[in-house]
Structure 1
Amino acid sequence: MRLATFRVDGVVRVGVVDGDHLQAVEAPDLLSVLVEWEQSGPPEPRGQVWSLAAVELLAPLPRPPRNVFCVGKNYRDHAREFSRSGYDRSAGGEELPSAPVVFTKPPSAVVGPGATIERHPTVTKELDYEAELAVIIGRPGRDIAPEDAHRHVWGYTIVNDVTARDRQRAHRQWFLGKGLDSFCPMGPVAVSADEVDPEGQARPALELSCWVNEELRQRANTADLLFDIPTLIATISAGLRLETGDVIATGTPAGVGIGFDPPRFLDRGDEVTITISGIGTLRNRVA
Structure 2
Amino acid sequence: MRIATRAGRTVLVSPDSATVVDLAKASEGAFGPDPRQVFDAWEELVSWYGAATVDFVAGDRYEFSELEAPSPDPRQVFAIGLNYRDHADESGLTYPEKPTVFTKFLGSFAGPAGDLALAGETVDWEAELVVVIGKPTRYVAAEDAWSHVAGLTVGQDFSERTFQLTGPAPQFSLGKSFVGFAPQGPWLVTPDELPDPDRLSITCTVNGETVQSGSTDQLIFPVSTLISHLSFVLELSPGDVIFTGTPSGVGGARKPPWFLREGDVVETTIEGIGTMRHVCVKAQ
Shift of 1:12: 4.2
Shift of 1:271: 1.2
Residue 34 in structure 1 maps to residue 30 in structure 2:
no
Change (3 A) 1:57 1:75: same
Which of 150, 173, 176 matches 1:178?
176
2:125 alignment partner in structure 1 = 129
Given that 1:5 and 1:60 are in contact with CA atoms closer than 8 Å, whether structure 2 keeps it comes out as yes
Q: Which moved more, 1:46-55 or 1:277-286?
A: 46-55
> What secondary structure is seen at the aligned counterpart in 1 of 2:43?
helix
1:61 alignment partner in structure 2 = 71
Change (3 A) 1:282 1:55: closer
Summarize the alignment of residues 1-287 of structure 1 with structure 2, pairs less than 5 Å apart: 1-7=1-7, 12-19=9-16, 20-26=18-24, 27-39=32-44, 41-43=47-49, 44=52, 45=54, 49-53=59-63, 56-62=66-72, 64-83=73-92, 94-120=93-119, 124-171=120-167, 172-196=170-194, 197-199=196-198, 205-287=199-281
**Distance (whole Å) between structure 1 residues aligned to residue 64 and residue 253 of structure 2:** 39
**Distance (whole Å) between structure 1 residues aligned to residue 10 and residue 135 of structure 2:** 23
Percent of aligned pairs with the same amino acid: 42
Shift of 1:209: 0.8
> What secondary structure is seen at the aligned counterpart in 2 of 1:125?
coil
1:90 alignment partner in structure 2 = none
**Distance (whole Å) between structure 2 residues aligned to residue 28 and residue 267 of structure 1:** 38
**Distance (whole Å) between structure 2 residues aligned to residue 266 and residue 67 of structure 1:** 28
Shift of 1:142: 1.3
1:91 alignment partner in structure 2 = none
Shift of 1:46: 6.0
> What secondary structure is seen at the aligned counterpart in 2 of 1:50?
coil
Shift of 1:13: 4.7
Provide Cα deviations, 1:194-229, integer angstroms capped at 9, x if missing partner.
Answer: 112332xxxxx2111110111100001111101111
1:89 alignment partner in structure 2 = none
**Distance (whole Å) between structure 1 residues aligned to residue 263 and residue 76 of structure 2:** 28
**Distance (whole Å) between structure 2 residues aligned to residue 75 and residue 54 of structure 1:** 29
Stretches of structure 1 that go unaligned for 5 or more consecutive residues are 84-93, 200-204
Given that 1:14 and 1:30 are in contact with CA atoms closer than 8 Å, whether structure 2 keeps it comes out as no
Shift of 1:42: 4.3
> What secondary structure is seen at the aligned counterpart in 2 of 1:194?
helix
Shift of 1:29: 2.9
State how many pairs are aligned.
265
**Distance (whole Å) between structure 1 residues aligned to residue 81 and residue 123 of structure 2:** 17
**Distance (whole Å) between structure 2 residues aligned to residue 104 and residue 31 of structure 1:** 19
> What secondary structure is seen at the aligned counterpart in 1 of 2:60?
strand
- TM-score, length-normalised on structure 2? 0.87
Given that 2:2 and 2:187 are in contact with CA atoms closer than 8 Å, whether structure 1 keeps it comes out as yes
- RMSD value, Cα: 1.9
Stretches of structure 2 that go unaligned for 5 or more consecutive residues are 25-31
> What secondary structure is seen at the aligned counterpart in 2 of 1:51?
coil
